[in-house]
Amino acid sequence: MRVSGPRLPVAWSSVGRYTDIRLDHSGDGIAKITICRPEVRNAFRPQTLIEVSDALTRSREDGSIGVIVLTGEGPDAFCSGGDQRVRGDTGYLEEPGSADAVGRFHVTDLQVQIRRLPKPVVAMVAGYAIGGGHVLHLTCDLTIAADNARFGQVGPKVGSFDGGFGAGLLAQQVGQKRAKEFWLLCEQYDAAEALEMGLVNTVVPLAELETETVAWARRMLQLSPMALRLCKASFHAAEDGLAGIQQLAHDTNLLFYATEEAQEGREAYKAKRIPDFSAFPRRA
């Protein structure tokens, strides 16, 4: 699928100072987060994930941003997952050879952050989306793939697995049998196969990847931000259990607080009087 509308160029401007990533703004509502470690196929170390998380938070809190694009530097890889050179015995290391493991997986919180972020997050995938990098694209709301994209899980090959979103979301997106095939065989799938199984939204020539992704983002920028937020939360309400329901419920609170009915409760409390809700209808 190609979205309609003109393909206008983007003059990205860099925001913030990072070592492992880049955060760029399009100037018309798109934030682009790029993992910049092409020498290791954009594998992530703890610092990478800390920076992606910071860029997501900034993009969330920036009212001028409506859509976030997550991608990897260069044509060869979106992300190849955890950097195996700094994988310690109880978590990842700050750097190769350092003694102390960080003691947690930063990717755990990052996956949840992407799911909870109340703006659409689009994975823009050129080359490999492998291992934990594949799970990152699964957690994004949409995936635009270049025709050179390759997808796969490698956990059982390298002594790892992701039984959370890595198994569950994959099964929801491609079905149980296919998802198990990903994990139990550790094969790779090309862009056409990914499209056929519903793993990505569209496949475009590599040279058009960014233009097409920006067109999809600009299409969403024309739509109601609150409706998009509630659509995303609605999907996750079913998929993420109580945490998903909590997100949708609190979004409802956000809207309810803007009503005179909710404000009557607040004002009565502050004025130390009994609230009068009699003016508000008991809707059928």
Among 15, 40, 206, 262, binds ligand S0N (CB under 6 A): 40
Q: Indicate the residue among 80 and 213 with the shorter CB distance to ligand S0N.
A: 80
Least distance from ligand S0N to the Cβ atom of residue 213, Å: 21
Question: Binding to ligand S0N by residue 102, rule CB under 6 A?
Answer: no
User: What is the distance in angstroms between the CA of the first residue and the CA of the last residue of the chain?
Assistant: 41
Taking the C-alpha atoms of residue 172 and residue 175, their distance in angstroms, rounded to an integer, is 6
Q: Which residue is nearest to ligand S0N (CB)?
A: 81
| Residue 80 binds to ligand S0N (criterion: CB under 6 A) | yes
- Choose which of 141, 162, 212, 240 interacts with ligand S0N (CB under 6 A): 162
Number of residues that bind ligand S0N (CB under 6 A): 22
Q: 156 or 275: whose CB is closer to ligand S0N?
A: 156
Q: Rule CB under 6 A: is residue 251 a binding residue for ligand S0N?
A: no
* Cβ distance to ligand S0N smaller for residue 161 or 235: 161
Question: Of 12, 18, 128, 151, which one interacts with ligand S0N (CB under 6 A)?
Answer: 128
**Ligand-binding site membership of 129 (annotated):** yes
Using the rule CB under 6 A, give the single segment among 6-14, 156-164, 232-240, 248-256 that binds ligand S0N: 156-164
Q: How far is the CB of 43 from ligand S0N (least distance, A)?
A: 4
| Contact range with ligand S0N by CB under 6 A, out of 3-11, 79-87, 189-197, 201-209 | 79-87
- Is 189 assigned a ligand-binding role in the annotation? no
Q: Is 160 in the site for ligand S0N (CB under 6 A)?
A: yes
Q: Amino acid letter at 262? A: A
Q: Which is nearer to ligand S0N, 158 or 254 (CB)?
A: 158
Across the beta sheet with 142-146, the strand order is 13-15, 21-25, 30-35, 67-72, 121-125, 142-146, 202-204
Segment interacting with ligand S0N (CB under 6 A) among 11-19, 25-33, 82-90, 169-177: 82-90
Task: Please report, as ranges, the residues that interact with ligand S0N according to CB under 6 A.
Answer: 40-41, 43, 76, 80-85, 105, 107, 128, 130-132, 135, 154-155, 158, 160, 162
